[in-house]
Amino acid sequence: MAKAGLEKKVIIAHAVLFFFIIGFFLYSNFMERAQQISSEQELDEKDLSSIEHLIGTCPRNRLCTTPSCPMWSDINEDGICDRSVR
Amino acid sequence: MRIQIIRHSVQLAFILLLFTAFFASLPHFMLIVLIATILGGAFYCGWLCPFGTMQEVANNVAGLFSKRRIAVPEKAAKYLVFLRYVFFALSLLGVSAVFFLDARISFLDMLRGDLLSLAAYSVVISFIIVSVFIDRLFCNYFCIQGAYFGVFSALRVFRIKREHKSCTGCRICDRICPMNIKISEKKYVSSLQCINCFKCTSKCPKRGALRYSFVDFRDVGLKKRFQKNRPKKKQSGKKIKSR
């Protein structure tokens, strides 16, 4: 009888600890992902504001790159990625 | 019971370790596990596998509320047992489609924070729900890694031994075994299905009837072959004399 009681306690303790660990990892993963998404969004907004004053500043025959454009290109006055604006 | 407490603690510790820097050294660790498997059996499945633990916990918790269990029919189980070895063989041949059903990998990815496909989530959740009613269904019939460890444990030198003199034939071990091994009918548990969970040894009411010990290979089958050959030699000797 005592053995059965102990067995029950062991099963409950095992289950509680297991779900606690699993829950903790799932929650921390979820929070990490949410933080990652929000920081990516912030970064996009920051990038856009820093790009705005650079539009059309890339001199001809110079290689410029803005983060949202392909390599060696810059945003022109029409907001289109271009190799050189002036 | 003590062995079960130790086993449960190891299961939890391994899950905790998986999410630390330990994960980087996992391939080396798996090599140690493989050596342990060759010598003593599939310890990974019974002691370490997080998805195995998940199924066990689900089944144990359900067992607290209801003792009724669904058993896979014996005839079906006889053939279903080979399914995981078929998956294992197919995986060796490079058929990656078999990994679709590998809930173990999906579960690990899920815990690591990887985003899975809806199909992978549903496979994992389905196996967890089924394990509430049928203990370790995934381990028994679908686990590729289990089959891999099973194959490597074929010639293990440590096995669970049943002392037929002490055994009362109560068959509790048969009923408690999550891998559906008929322990009461064997001298040594040589089945590739055995996951070394030691539920049989800890549940056995007769002390010493089941124990984990070094195998005397003469008892496993080699002795029978040896004995079969011996009388033939004697007979041939007699024949020579009579001639």
Here the ipTM equals 0.77
Of residues A3, A7, A18, nearest to B57 (C-beta): A18
Is the pLDDT at B191 greater than 50? The verdict is yes
CA–CA separation, B59 vs B50, rounded Å? 14
Of residues B57, B111, B112, nearest to A15 (C-beta): B57
Q: Assess whether A4 and A46 both reside in one domain.
A: yes
Q: Assess whether A45 and A3 both reside in one domain.
A: yes
Q: Assess whether A6 and A45 both reside in one domain.
A: yes
Of residues B1, B12, B112, nearest to A17 (C-beta): B12
CA–CA separation, A14 vs B6, rounded Å? 11
Q: Assess whether A30 and A43 both reside in one domain.
A: yes
Q: Which of A20, A22, A30, A31 to mutate: most B Cβ within 10 Å?
A: A22
Q: Count A/B contacts: CB-CB distance under 8 Å.
A: 47
Of residues A7, A12, A22, nearest to B111 (C-beta): A22
Is the pLDDT at B57 greater than 90? The verdict is yes
Q: Is residue B12 part of a domain?
A: yes
**A74-83, B208-217, B226-235 — which is least confidently predicted?**
B226-235
Q: Assess whether A42 and A62 both reside in one domain.
A: no
Q: And the tokens for A37?
A: 């998404």
Q: A26 contacts in B (CB within 8 Å)?
A: 110-111
Q: Looking at the 3D structure of chain A, how many domains does it have? A: 2
Q: Is residue B211 part of a domain?
A: no
Q: Assess whether A16 and A43 both reside in one domain.
A: yes
Confidence of residue A55 (pLDDT cuts 50, 70, 90): low
Q: What is the share, in percent, of chain A residues with pLDDT greater than 70? A: 49
Q: Average of pLDDT values for A45-66?
A: 62
Q: Assess whether A58 and A46 both reside in one domain.
A: no
Q: And the tokens for B175?
A: 């009923």
Shortest distance between the Cα of B147 and any Cα of chain A, in A, equals 25
Residue A61 sits in which domain range? 54-86
pLDDT of B106: 87
Q: Which helix (H) or strand (E) holds A19?
A: helix A2-52
Q: Is A60 helix (H, G, I), strand (E, B) or coil?
A: coil
Nearest CA in chain A to B114: A29
User: Could you give the angle at the alpha carbon of B37 between the alpha carbons of B40 and B155, nearest 5°?
Assistant: 70
CA B147 to each of CA A60, A78, B192: distance values in angstroms, whole numbers, following the listed order: 65, 62, 8
Q: Assess whether A17 and A41 both reside in one domain.
A: yes
Q: Assess whether A37 and A69 both reside in one domain.
A: no
Nearest CA in chain B to A29: B113
Q: Assess whether A43 and A65 both reside in one domain.
A: no
Radius of gyration of chain A (CA): 28
Going by C-alpha positions, the residue among B194, B214, B210, B203 that lies closest to residue B45 is B194
**B66-70, B92-96, B234-238 — which is least confidently predicted?**
B234-238
pLDDT tens figures, B159-181: 998 888 888 888 899 888 999 88
CA–CA separation, B239 vs B68, rounded Å? 63
Q: Is residue B194 part of a domain?
A: no
CA B45 to each of CA A8, B7, B36, B52, B199: distance values in angstroms, whole numbers, following the listed order: 23, 11, 12, 6, 13
Going by C-alpha positions, the residue among B135, B172, B126, B162 that lies closest to residue B46 is B135
Quick check: B12 and A18 CB within 8 A? yes
Query: In whole numbers, what is the pLDDT of chain A averaged over residues?
Result: 73
Residue B99 sits in which domain range? 2-152
What number of other Cβ atoms are within 10 A of residue B208's Cβ?
A: 11
Of residues B8, B61, B112, nearest to A10 (C-beta): B8
Q: And the tokens for A5?
A: 């009681």
Nearest CA in chain B to A7: B1
Q: Assess whether A3 and A42 both reside in one domain.
A: yes
The answer to whether A80 contacts chain B (CB < 8 Å) is no
pLDDT of B8: 93
Quick check: B60 and A32 CB within 8 A? no
Confidence of residue B66 (pLDDT cuts 50, 70, 90): confident
Q: Is B160 helix (H, G, I), strand (E, B) or coil?
A: strand
CA–CA separation, B221 vs B100, rounded Å? 38
At position B194, the amino acid (one-letter code) is C
Q: Assess whether A40 and A64 both reside in one domain.
A: no
Confidence of residue A83 (pLDDT cuts 50, 70, 90): low
Buried b / exposed e over A36-58, threshold 16 CB at 10 Å, is eeeeeeeeeeeeeeebeeeeeeb
pLDDT tens figures, B74-84: 888 888 989 99
Q: Is B136:B178 a contact under the CB 8 Å cutoff?
A: yes
Q: Looking at the 3D structure of chain B, how many domains does it have? A: 1
